[in-house]
Structure 1
Amino acid sequence: MPTTWTQKDEKQYKKIRESALERGKSSSEAKEIAARTVNKQRRKEGRTPQETTQGTGNPNTRLEDRTVDELYNLAKEHHIQGRSKLNKAELIEAIRDKR
């Protein structure tokens, strides 16, 4: 757990991690789910320098359910040219074409 987390964040992390383990997730998956959830909440509350996610979203989530920022980051990983000018639907189409 990062040192910048409050006790409330750590408590939330542990509860989410334990819940994920009970649902059959592996230890590493449970830790990732918990950390992503806590960090998302911290971003939402403005307690982190990043206003938006730096990631590509949950790989088990459909592309349509991800944010434009997550799709942009995914397009960046796939080296899609002109990604900054694409809207959400165009990003999804470009990512699917690269897969």
Structure 2
Amino acid sequence: MPQGDKDKYTDKQKRKAEHIEKSYERKGVSGKEAEARAWATVNKQSGGGNRSGGSGQKKSSQAKSADRSDSARQAAATRKSGSRSASLADQTKEQLMKKARAQNIRGRSTMRKQELISALRRSN
């Protein structure tokens, strides 16, 4: 499929892109730029042209069941501890980085997650 070919898009996606394009043109955007923005919007919303068979991987029913029970177990542990805030180990590196920034911990930008946890514990 050559670049710019819209054959893989559904009729609904094509109508949506056309509508978005007209909206941009009413706002004074050039025709070529309006078309590019419209298709970019459609791609962002729907992940591009729909292909037969669907896209992405499907989880097995066993994997879904395992995920649900893990989630339930984690929720029960949170309720049991009486604390809604996650422990440091349960937080993402980005969340830990925000806390380290708020506490002005030096060298935080080069720290790994475990190092951030240790530094945050030492600072309290």
Asked if these proteins are the same fold (TM beyond 0.5), I'd say no
**TM-score when normalising by structure 2:** 0.35
Query: Rg bigger for which structure?
Result: 2
